[in-house]
A and B are shown apart, each in its own frame.
Chain A
Amino acid sequence: MAVAKEVETKDKHIKNLANIVGGAQSILYKKEDLLAYDCDGFTIHRHLPKAVVFPKNTQEVANVVKYCHENNLPFLARGAGTGLSGGAIPLNGEVIISLVRMKRLLSVDLENRRAVVEPGFVNIKLTNSISDKGYYYAPDPSSQYCCTIGGNVAENAGGAHCLKYGVTTNHILGLEVVLPNGEIIEIGKNGILDPPGYDLLGLLTGSEGTLGIVTKITVRILKNPEAKQTVLAYFDKVLDASQAVSDIISAGIVPAALEMMDKIAIEGVEAAAFPVGHPKDIEALLLIEVDGISAGIDEQIHQILQVCKSRNVREVKVAQDEQERARWWANRKTGFGAMGAISPDYLVQDGVIPRSKLPEVLSRINQISEKYGLRIANIFHAGDGNLHPLVLFDARKPGETEKALEAGSACLQVCADVGGSITGEHGVGIEKREEMLFIFNDEEIIAQTDIRDVFNPKNLLNAGKLFPTPGRCVEVKKGMKEVITSSKHKIL
């Protein structure tokens, strides 16, 4: 048996934590090693953790948590660190519990359509493990090649195909959770639906790692659709494209995906690694996918083509084969990163609006872009109204980062004004804490922190996330009060 290496430090907590997880090979504590953990996909805030531990199983997670709980050490969970709102940033010098070593697929039960995974299991691997049998796992965030299912549960991750199939919460059947005091609980035993009691599965999913650490997940898996067709449509006017979106939905079609990119977004993806050859002078493109029973698909595609034509589409085409379809999707799914090709830095925002408000919202985002003198690209899950404005900026220019943050926040204000939400899939994290007040009043925030207190009474687990900082709460609220009251009707 290999002898566990000793840690080289006098810090007793580091020593004790190392012992819990099996020695020096399962803990990082030197500054140079910790640097990689000072932020996640939201790179604007940074803070060093106290240590990063790599437990191998639930019991080790529970022991680490219990230790932190007893010694009042703040701690948080981390998956792949792709979160875009700063949920895994150790604001308070947390002990980071990395789940990347808990990455097994524990079981697959095709007959009952479920699989059990450890939290560090990477999203795409699940589909890859069952695709030969004709099954897949539906939630498909664009980061699915590296993000973990544990992280997906924490963020209630969505993806392009969530329009028809729903987001993560619609696919979670059971969870094993280590509570902030180290106790292990299991909710949704055997993945059976509607376990008696309040819906803790629903509450934990999307709680951004503030209520417990998920150590095992039972997910629903689906059979592949029999057929799939993908359409690409180019529009000279954004208005026409958004009207086409509404018309498709009004026709009673439920597309598997319905995505939009605007001109700047197209410029970005065409300059990046997966260009498709989209014309550069169009104002918007739609990427539409329908799937289901083969016998019904042609009719729906026909209808979609008709709609596009009636909305003055410049060009519309159906993917001829799987390769072409895959090229279109690679182009779309790498959309965020592609902004790196046309701008030194970019900030991803994540608002949601009622679909019908799209033209109004896009024109207001244009005004914001002009006001701040920053270009804003728009990538949009148009079918469900989830907008990703990408604010392009240059962090080397003094003050521009702050301007970008303000512009991003202004975009969210617009979403809130039209009756939408400040986040559709990336979560609140650190980034949108104050923006929570755009849509919730103090009592509604307290209703949520009350729930947190039930699970996490010492608030050692991932503190400082999700909710407005009490000090600023009042200040921001003052500024927002007018907006909230004037648009009360729409927001409610």
Chain B
Amino acid sequence: MLIATELLTELMSILPEQQIRASGSENHPLGNDGRVTVYPKSEEEIATVLKYANDNGKTISIVGGGTKRGFGGLIESADILLSLADYTGIVEHTVGDMTLTVKSGTPFKELQEYLSKYHQKISLDPAWPEYATIGGIIAANESGPKRLGYGSARDAVIGIRVVYPNGTVIRTGGRVVKNVAGYDMNKLFIGSMGTLGVISEVTLKLRPLPKYESLILLSFLEENLEEIRSFVIKFLDSMMEPTSLELLSPSLSERVMGQNLYTLAISFEDVESSVHYQEDFVKNIQPAKTKMTIFQQTEAQSFWEQFYRIGPNGTKYVVSEEIEAALKIGVVNLDVLQVIKESQILQDSYNVAVAAHGGLGHGLCQVYLKGANEDIVSAINQLRDFVTRLGGYVIVKHLPLSLRQKVDVWGEKPSYFFLLEGIKSKIDPNRVLNHKRFVGGI
């Protein structure tokens, strides 16, 4: 408590008092907390706090909306929790150039709603868009099923302003959609989990809102993965242009559409004639023993809105006997079939509830688990063994702190870990920012 008081006093000398708050005595079960929370309202204030911490041997944990508070991190509480909740708003939207510069604390949904007035959007589909901030989405490299059609943060971000731990502001990229001047430093910060700097502004290239959209849900009545596989291969070999081709585990289908069946969620977004033409194509190759539901326009949109809320949300953590975990799994595209199947099997062998989905056109899966502590840990280990044999990786995206200390969040270090470590040491030699939040304890 004494330390916190001292820290408070010192922070008060550099920030207005109403932007500083001492934390309660209890730490957050997800960790990544701070003894004192600060709410900077400008980039200069962010820089001031960073410089203060860097010069005085303090540590900082960074938080946007807090949805990913359970993602990585081995420390209960840093000295300072730097919240970007009050650093929000659009800096510049050049409608004709289709670019947007925005402060990092801005919630994603707010941005999409604003942009929709101009028939534009950011082509990302992260979870919990009303809570997740653009900065957090970029720092954690969040993507959703529609990555197949639109790519991920690394394809959408064209410029970043980032505050380095010593308080220097660095601009990477620019405000134009094509740019190879110098190293592509944008990439360094996307997915870096806030371990290199505080992203203060992001410039994104926008896309037009699709003129029309629909969603086909194709459920397979029998649990025959070979059938799904041959349909998917045939479909992918066609010239159709789905924006998602996501396989839902039976348990997840049950939850989102009341069908305990393996289901493919196939999205089309284009001019209306093209969308219907592609639906017809799918109808023509519809395999026997399947059920098809087609949602048009707002129905499709509300399906996805619900879908983005199926995983755990760090802002809504409640302490309970049953704990929740979320995993991100990367494999070679078609191996998604095996991962989803294995996840479904886990449900029975470990007494955990499992819901899983994965993109057959991009190879990324999300697996959500619910159950007792030991069961969750065993299930994660089992799945990691399985995925490692496929040549893929498992990252734990959400887990209470106590379990993160038992399960390796990031899996094995890559052979080139010394390069990651080298980058961290150059930029944040004093380990001020999000210490131990990333791969190999970076």
Contacts and interface: CB of A to CB of B under 8 A. Distances in A.
Contact of B422 (A428, A436, A454): A454
Interface string B138-163: 00010000000001101100000100
A8 interface: no
B423 A423 contact: no
Contact of B190 (A199, A422, A448, A454): A199
Interface residues of B, number: 83
Interface in A247-291: 249-250, 252-254
A423 B181 CA distance: 5
Interface stretch (A74-82, A106-114, A402-410): A106-114
Contacts of B391: 189-190, 192
Contacts of B240: 226, 293
A424 interface: yes
Contacts, number: 252
Interface string A202-221: 11011100000000000000
B191 A385 contact: no
B426 A453 contact: yes
Given A112-B334, A443-B168, A444-B170, A156 B277 contact: no
Given A112-B333, A166-B155, A440 B393 contact: no
Contacts of B419: 185, 198, 200, 454-455
Interface in B237-294: 237-241, 270-271, 273-274, 276-278
B330 interface: yes
B188 interface: yes
Contacts of B392: 190, 192
Contacts of B191: 194, 198-199
Given A194-B328, A246-B96, A451-B183, 12 more contacts: A156-B180, A192-B363, A196-B414, A202-B190, A223-B239, A224-B239, A292-B274, A296-B274, A421-B178, A436-B181, A440-B182, A451-B423
A2 to B, nearest CB: 36
Interface stretch (B20-28, B60-68, B207-215, B374-382): B207-215
A254 B209 CA distance: 11
Interface in A433-452: 436, 439-440, 443-445, 447-448, 450-452
Interface string B397-434: 00000000000001100111101101100110000000
9 contacts: A193-B330, A194-B364, A197-B414, A197-B438, A419-B175, A419-B176, A428-B181, A466-B183, A467-B182
B89 interface: no
A299 interface: yes
Interface stretch (A59-67, A324-332, A352-360): A352-360
A186 interface: yes
A354 B236 contact: no
Nearest to A112: B333
B221 interface: no
Interface in B343-389: 361-364
A448 to B, nearest CB: 5
A202 B274 contact: no
Interface string B178-216: 111111111110111000100000000001110100000
Interface string A423-435: 1111110001000
A436 B185 CA distance: 14
Contacts of B328: 194
A224 B236 CA distance: 11
A448 B182 contact: yes
A296 B187 contact: no
A344 interface: no
A158 B172 CA distance: 19
Nearest to A210: B183
A451 B188 contact: yes
B12 interface: no
A294 interface: yes
B416 A200 contact: yes
Contact of A199 (B181, B187, B209): B187
A333 to B, nearest CB: 17
A300 B271 contact: yes
A225 interface: yes
A492 interface: yes
Nearest to A450: B426
A239 interface: no
A203 B187 contact: yes
A447 B439 contact: no
